[in-house]
């Protein structure tokens, strides 16, 4: 077994590998860029080596520096994680040539599967179902249209070296095929340095289901069941689960056996994933093979009770697989939500900056630990007070739950999301909460078009229907009553002018139109020590009990003898007197006042918000890559004004109406904050 390994990655996956290495008694070496000098993976590792600038191309993609770091630290093996150099055949070969072990498949297996055209041909030879299509590189847009007609619309146009949703278009007609081919080719050239593009049949109502395989150097290969990855937004996975609620045992077995055939055909030695697209009739076709550990590997770990990172390390050290196909378990149901630094209410734009608060829900399962299953696990590479840099992808944590069955896992996940506190940046937690509550998701009736179909016009606050919205108002009144009780007990108050608590209140809540809604609330039967009250709203009474300290964002307790987890903050919204209450993805801001205070509030003059239509403001934090206009220039609606880059995404800002550019306030190369003014129209 290795004495020391280097992890050629960052973030949560680097932390994940370090945990398994520590469990196995192996020393670890981290590598880091300028932006990651204070990162969590650097702190967790036994040693750390600086390898360059903040941008990936200056650090985590620098193969020679990583190999040099192995030599200077005496690391015998490299774990590449996922992303960066994990599926780079040249890197794997170079590592092997330098006498260092690559904890992953051999370079020839990566090469065979890394090229989508070559891998489809190989899959055909290995008797694996493949999608009808044209598997050779296509030279011109005109030829692409001809082939698309032959295959039959709709077709999918894909870059051979593509991945992560880049270099992929769906065409429903000749125009789509012509335009899609051109943009795919350009995207592939810019993202991967390889502009080869091919075409295949687009499967309707498709599911994205993948099989986890594991091979050793003795030629044994097994499959570890499947993962359901159909909940995707723009080809990026959002929720993954294992097993799939859709496929039958016969389909599972057939897919698993084909995945093993393919792995054996390329002499596969490590953990890998064979991805299939599955039609509504359970017909399945090979998509591609990922020759690395997947982001969603924890759901497989939960249902099988196996540590995949440990198995990767053991196989790389030459050990045989410790189990046979018949010994692979499938127990319970696991779901993973990717928690991303993005604002779902601003069309999922990246959100970077300092994590003012980062408090994951209470964990009962842990990475690298297969003893404690059935519960909650959080894999992350960030910490409270840390920085989310703009240079890397937007995922800040993975929330994993393992339940007895699917319904139990969904309930566990909803509760865990309620208790996940992230402040300072926006996160996609409200969106995840909405997906988990959607009746079609709950029933398991979905495909890869689910998010586009139900949230095609973006995601809005009203897309999260709460099953009991008055509970949020009751909780605001309950917490207000507790704050009043604490204030009334402060010594030294002027006689006759002390804080009076009272039992009758009015909760003033902003509705979707921005209008104040006044809701009379009574908070009675208050017991300070027991932390309980009876709260009446709209003729319904809630018995709420909580022992949490005031000031904690996370509030846990009982409502009508049922456990709940919610988040309550004072002064977090636009009104410093308001309580912001979040539960099951729904958020309200409520000012709880005495009846007199509420009457006086109604007499306050309305302050209209300022007119910001003459400004172009940055919709997200990021780097201003380009300002496309000059002062005095006449622009038309739809014309490009500026380009902002963050988290490997380019966001082009267009004019929403005709106008004349007045002054320009931000310069190319400047780092912008959210809502920072870029230019003003005359």
What pLDDT band is residue 168 in, cutting at 50, 70 and 90? confident
Strands 579-583 and 554-559: unpaired
Q: Which pLDDT score is estimated for 575?
A: 78
How far apart CA 29 and CA 37 sit, in angstroms, is 14
Tell me if 116 is assigned to some domain: no
Tell me if 357 is assigned to some domain: yes
What pLDDT band is residue 290 in, cutting at 50, 70 and 90? very high
How far apart CA 266 and CA 254 sit, in angstroms, is 19
190-194, 287-291, 340-344, 515-519: lowest mean pLDDT where? 190-194
Q: Average pLDDT for residues 200-223, to the nearest whole number?
A: 93
Angle at 338 between CA 336 and CA 341, to 5 degrees: 160
Residue 607 scores a pLDDT above 80? no
CB 365 within 8 A of CB 271: no
How far apart CA 472 and CA 552 sit, in angstroms, is 17
- Do 144 and 288 have their domain in common? no
- Do 196 and 217 have their domain in common? no
Let me know how many helices (H) and strands (E) the chain has, helices first.
17, 39
- Do 451 and 592 have their domain in common? no
CB 652 within 8 A of CB 669: no
Give the 3-state secondary structure of residue 113: helix
Tell me the CA end-to-end span of the chain in Å, nearest whole number: 69
How far apart CA 487 and CA 551 sit, in angstroms, is 13
Handedness of CA 162, 164, 170, 175 (dihedral sign): negative
Q: Average pLDDT for residues 645-653, to the nearest whole number?
A: 81
Q: Is 319 a catalytic residue?
A: no
- Do 350 and 446 have their domain in common? yes
Give the 3-state secondary structure of residue 353: strand
Question: How much of the chain, in percent, has pLDDT values that exceed 70?
Answer: 98
What pLDDT band is residue 515 in, cutting at 50, 70 and 90? confident
Q: Average pLDDT for residues 625-651, to the nearest whole number?
A: 88
- Do 436 and 327 have their domain in common? yes
Q: Which pLDDT score is estimated for 178?
A: 94
H/E element holding 161? strand 155-163
Residue 514 scores a pLDDT above 70? no
Task: Give the CATH number of the domain where residue 642 resides.
Answer: 2.40.50.100
Residue 80 scores a pLDDT above 90? yes
How far apart CA 105 and CA 221 sit, in angstroms, is 12
How far apart CA 472 and CA 589 sit, in angstroms, is 9
Task: Give the CATH number of the domain where residue 34 resides.
Answer: 3.40.50.20
Residue/partner pairs of 23-27 with CB below 8 Å, 24 or more apart: 23/307, 23/310, 23/368, 23/369, 24/310, 24/313, 26/1, 26/2, 26/313, 27/3
- Do 63 and 163 have their domain in common? no
232 phi/psi in degrees, rounded to 5: -130, 150
Q: What is the DSSP secondary-structure string of 178-190?
A: HHHHHHHHHHHHH
How far apart CA 351 and CA 230 sit, in angstroms, is 25
Residue 299 scores a pLDDT above 80? yes
* 226, 288, 336, 589: the active-site residue: 288
Q: How far is CA 286 from CA 166, 209, 257, 433, in A?
A: 19, 10, 12, 31
Tell me if 121 is assigned to some domain: no
Tell me if 108 is assigned to some domain: no
How far apart CA 40 and CA 43 sit, in angstroms, is 5
Q: Which pLDDT score is estimated for 513?
A: 63
Tell me if 608 is assigned to some domain: no
Task: Using the CB atoms, write b or e for 288-307: b if 16+ within 10 Å.
Answer: bbbbbbbbbbbbbbbbbebb
Beta bridge partners of 486: none
Beta bridge partners of 534: 524, 543
Tell me if 453 is assigned to some domain: yes
Length of the chain: 682
Q: Which pLDDT score is estimated for 494?
A: 83
How far apart CA 57 and CA 383 sit, in angstroms, is 25
Tell me if 298 is assigned to some domain: yes
Q: Average pLDDT for residues 478-499, to the nearest whole number?
A: 84
The pLDDT tens digits of the residues spanning 93-127 come to: 999 999 999 999 999 999 999 887 788 889 999 99
- Do 536 and 594 have their domain in common? yes
Task: Give the CATH number of the domain where residue 165 resides.
Answer: 3.30.1490.20
How far apart CA 108 and CA 366 sit, in angstroms, is 34
Q: What is the DSSP secondary-structure string of 258-311?
A: HHHHHHHHTT--SEEEEEEEE-TTS-EEEEEEE-S--TTHHHHHHHHT--HHHH
How far apart CA 341 and CA 355 sit, in angstroms, is 10
- Do 429 and 369 have their domain in common? yes
How far apart CA 60 and CA 36 sit, in angstroms, is 11
Give the 3-state secondary structure of residue 535: strand
400-404, 555-559, 651-655: lowest mean pLDDT where? 651-655
Q: What is the DSSP secondary-structure string of 619-672?
A: SSSEEEEEE---TT-EE-TT-EEEEEEETTEEEEEE-SS-EEEEEE---TT-EE
> Burial of 654 by CB count in 10 Å (0-12 exposed, 13-18 middle, 19+ buried)?
middle
Say which DSSP state 31 is in.
E
Tell me if 122 is assigned to some domain: no
What pLDDT band is residue 165 in, cutting at 50, 70 and 90? low
**Mean of pLDDT over the chain:** 92
The contacts of residue 53 (CB under 8 Å, 6+ apart) are: 33, 34, 59
Q: How far is CA 468 from the centre of its chain?
A: 27
Q: Average pLDDT for residues 252-281, to the nearest whole number?
A: 95
What pLDDT band is residue 144 in, cutting at 50, 70 and 90? very high
Stated pTM of the model? 0.85
Q: Average pLDDT for residues 337-366, to the nearest whole number?
A: 92
Q: Which pLDDT score is estimated for 164?
A: 61
Nearest CA to 582 out of 397, 457, 429 is that of 429
Give the 3-state secondary structure of residue 157: strand
- Do 507 and 548 have their domain in common? yes
- Do 289 and 346 have their domain in common? yes
Strands 77-79 and 101-102: parallel
Question: How much of the chain, in percent, has pLDDT values that exceed 90?
Answer: 71
Q: Which pLDDT score is estimated for 234?
A: 87
CB 2 within 8 A of CB 76: yes
Q: Which pLDDT score is estimated for 195?
A: 83
Total of domains in the chain:
5
Q: Which residue has the higher pLDDT, 166 or 33?
A: 33
Q: How far is CA 527 from the centre of its chain?
A: 41
The contacts of residue 371 (CB under 8 Å, 6+ apart) are: none
What pLDDT band is residue 3 in, cutting at 50, 70 and 90? very high
What is the number of other CB atoms lying within 10 angstroms of the CB of residue 488?
13
Q: How far is CA 655 from the centre of its chain?
A: 30
Q: Which pLDDT score is estimated for 16?
A: 97
Range of 341's domain?
A: 207-463
Would you call the peptide bond into 243 cis, given omega within 30 degrees of 0 as the criterion?
yes
The pLDDT tens digits of the residues spanning 178-207 come to: 999 998 888 888 777 788 888 988 887 899
Q: Average pLDDT for residues 505-510, to the nearest whole number?
A: 91
Q: How far is CA 68 from CA 59, 75, 249, 336, in A?
A: 13, 10, 48, 36
Q: What is the DSSP secondary-structure string of 372-438?
A: S-SSEEEEES--TT-EE-SSS-SEEEEEEEEESSHHHHHHHHHHHHHT-EEESS--SHHHHHHHHH-
How far apart CA 273 and CA 259 sit, in angstroms, is 8
- Do 506 and 549 have their domain in common? yes
Residue 565 scores a pLDDT above 90? yes
How far apart CA 157 and CA 134 sit, in angstroms, is 10
Task: Give the CATH number of the domain where residue 432 resides.
Answer: 3.30.470.20
- Do 154 and 181 have their domain in common? yes
Domain end: 570, 603, 636, which one? Answer: 603
Domain end: 583, 603, 623, which one? Answer: 603
Q: Average pLDDT for residues 152-157, to the nearest whole number?
A: 89
């Amino acid at each position: 077994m290795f004495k020391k390994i280097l992890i050629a990655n960052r973030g949560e996956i680097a932390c994940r590998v370090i945990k398994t290495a520590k469990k196995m008694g192996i020393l670890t070496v981290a590598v880091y860029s300028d932006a990651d000098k204070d990162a969590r993976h650097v702190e967790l590792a036994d040693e750390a080596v600086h390898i360059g600038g903040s941008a990936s191309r200056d650090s985590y993609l620098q193969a020679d520096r990583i190999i040099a770091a192995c030599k200077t630290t005496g690391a015998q093996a490299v774990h590449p994680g996922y992303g960066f150099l994990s599926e780079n055949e040249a890197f794997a070969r170079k590592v092997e040539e330098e006498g260092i072990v690559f904890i992953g498949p051999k370079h020839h297996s990566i090469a065979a599967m890394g090229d989508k055209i070559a891998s489809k041909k190989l899959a055909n030879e290995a008797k694996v179902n493949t999608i009808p299509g044209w598997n050779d590189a296509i030279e011109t847009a005109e030829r692409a249209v001809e082939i698309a007609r032959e295959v039959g619309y709709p077709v999918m146009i894909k870059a051979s070296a593509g991945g992560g949703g880049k270099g992929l278009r769906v065409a429903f007609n000749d125009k789509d095929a012509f335009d899609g081919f051109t943009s795919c080719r350009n995207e592939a050239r810019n993202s991967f340095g390889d502009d080869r593009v091919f075409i295949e049949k687009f499967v309707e109502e498709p599911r994205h289901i993948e099989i986890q395989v594991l091979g050793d150097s003795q030629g044994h290969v097994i499959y570890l069941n499947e993962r359901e990855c159909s909940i995707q937004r723009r080809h990026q996975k959002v929720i993954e689960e294992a097993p799939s609620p859709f496929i039958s045992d016969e389909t599972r077995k057939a897919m698993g056996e084909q995945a093993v055939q393919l792995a054996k055909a390329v002499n596969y030695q490590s953990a890998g994933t064979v991805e299939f697209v599955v039609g509504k009739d359970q017909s399945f076709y090979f998509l591609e093979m990922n020759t690395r550990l997947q982001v969603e590997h924890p759901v497989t770990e939960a249902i099988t009770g196996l540590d995949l990172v440990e198995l990767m390390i053991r196989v790389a050290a030459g050990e045989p697989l410790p189990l046979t196909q018949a010994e692979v378990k499938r127990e319970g149901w696991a779901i993973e939500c990717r928690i991303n630094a993005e604002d779902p209410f601003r069309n999922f734009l990246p959100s970077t900056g300092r994590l003012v608060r980062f408090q994951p829900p209470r964990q009962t399962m842990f990475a690298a630990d297969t003893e404690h299953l059935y519960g909650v696990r959080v894999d992350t590479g960030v910490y409270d007070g840390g920085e989310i840099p703009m240079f890397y992808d937007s995922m800040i944590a993975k929330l994993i739950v393992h339940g007895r069955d699917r319904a139990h896992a969904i309930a566990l996940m909803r509760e865990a999301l309620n208790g996940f506190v992230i402040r300072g940046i926006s996160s996609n937690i409200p969106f995840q909460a909405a997906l988990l509550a959607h009746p079609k998701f709950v029933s398991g009736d979905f495909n890869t078009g689910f998010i586009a179909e139900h949230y095609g016009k973006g995601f809005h606050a009203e897309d999260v229907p709460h099953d009991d919205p008055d509970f949020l108002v009751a909780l605001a009144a309950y917490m207000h009553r507790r704050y009043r009780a604490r204030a009334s007990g402060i010594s030294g108050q002027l006689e006759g002018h002390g804080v009076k608590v009272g039992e009758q209140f009015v909760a003033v809540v902003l509705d979707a139109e921005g209008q104040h809604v006044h809701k009379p609330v009574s908070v009675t039967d208050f017991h300070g020590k027991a932390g309980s009250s009876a709260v009446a709203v709209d003729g319904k009474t809630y018995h709420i009990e909580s022992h949490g300290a005031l000031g904690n964002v996370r509030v846990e307790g009982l409502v009508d003898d049922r456990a709940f987890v919610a988040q309550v903050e004072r002064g977090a919204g636009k009104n410093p007197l308001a309580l912001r209450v979040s539960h099951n993805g729904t958020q309200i801001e409520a000012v709880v006042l005495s009846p007199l205070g509420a009457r006086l509030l109604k007499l306050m003059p309305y302050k209209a918000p300022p007119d910001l239509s003459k400004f172009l403001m940055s919709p997200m934090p990021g780097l201003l890559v380009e300002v496309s206009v000059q002062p005095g220039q006449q622009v038309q609606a739809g014309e490009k004004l500026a380009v902002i880059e963050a988290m490997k995404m380019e966001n082009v800002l267009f004019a929403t109406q005709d106008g004349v550019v007045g002054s320009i306030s931000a310069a190319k190369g400047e780092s912008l904050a959210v809502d920072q003014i870029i230019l003003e129209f005359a």
